[in-house]
Structure 1
Amino acid sequence: MSANRKGDRRERELVNKLDEAGFAVMRAPASGSATDRELPDVLAGDGEQFYAIEAKSSAGDPIYLTGEEVEALIYFAQNFGASARIAVRFDREDWYFFHPDDCYVTDGGNYRVKKETALADGTDLDELVGHSTQARLDG
């Protein structure tokens, strides 16, 4: 399966999970290709929380995003009134979310998320949407 088809499938999976969590969700397929404007892969909101999400998946290698991708995500999110998030998914793992400031920046200005970092430090979907155990205890 081509990387693009796999990435598209992963983005649709993320959209479905956010929809199941009660969010209104829009996917911008092939973001950036239909317009000169850089668009996030996914927009999601539930009336209280709004996210502009750049989604990446990998079989197990670290996930890299260019500095330009992340800058465009932050720019769009700020202008839209959303929180910028980088969503990563490694094979046989769940989705994990990071604020761009929480990602490692390489000497070349690219952003990197390793699988170990995602599993140890990433925000899972339940926590992102406010369904975490702590949120249920607090609520």
Structure 2
Amino acid sequence: MTLVSGLGIQAERDLVHRFWSEGFAVLRAPASGGGTDLPRPDLIVGSVERQRFFVLEIKTIKRKVLYLQAEQIEGLIEFANRLGFEPVLGVKFKWQGKGFLFLKVPEQLEQVRDSANYKITLAEACRVGQSFGELIGAYRQEKVEDYLKEKE
């Protein structure tokens, strides 16, 4: 295991404990991308009490842009659809010192020009992404843009 993959695994484990402490059932799929052609998300999460059910792909990166292969996103969507869960990307821009931002897949991702692949920039993730608390329904943080639209 490389240091980079070790950091990603630790981030997944930390999220497992956060979801569990908030009353969610959670399952981490070790080696989610390896050893099979079948789609397999990093985390499967759900709470009947909160009526929230997710399959998550988790990424930690040091750059300002995350690129994702179309096959990975399509696999996440297919897995989520088979369960009736919501497909979500959790991304942590490590050098920013912030926590995870969670994005709806594929709606909140940008299609790479002349490609089937996707990307998300730090700026866009901050603009449209949800915090952990927002994702689990603990609170709703109103975005400035949404607030201004309501006032018009």
TM-score using structure 1 length: 0.89
RMSD of aligned residue pairs (Cα, Å): 1.7
Shift of residue 61 of structure 1? Answer: 2.9
Residues of 2 paired with 1:43 and 1:105: CA distance? Answer: 25
Distance 1:131 1:37, change over 3 A: same
> Does the residue aligned with 2:91 lie in a helix, a strand or coil?
strand
Tell me which of 130, 134, 137 is aligned to 1:127.
134
Residues 33, 40 of structure 2: 8 Å contact kept: yes
Structure 1 runs of 4+ aligned residues shifted over 3 Å read none
Q: How many residues align structurally?
A: 135
Shift of residue 15 of structure 1? Answer: 1.4
Structure 2 unaligned runs (5+)? 142-152
Residues 23, 47 of structure 2: 8 Å contact kept: yes
Identity of aligned residues (%): 32
Tell me which of 93, 102, 108 is aligned to 2:108.
102
Report which of the two structures shows the higher radius of gyration computed on alpha carbons.
Answer: 2
Shift of residue 133 of structure 1? Answer: 4.8
Distance 1:20 1:60, change over 3 A: farther
Shift of residue 52 of structure 1? Answer: 0.5
Aligned AA (2:76): L
Structure 1 unaligned runs (5+)? 135-139
Find the counterpart in structure 1 of residue 28 from structure 2: 27
Question: Structure 1 residue 54 and structure 2 residue 57: aligned?
Answer: yes
Residues 57, 63 of structure 1: 8 Å contact kept: no
Residues of 1 paired with 2:79 and 2:118: CA distance? Answer: 17
TM-score using structure 2 length: 0.82
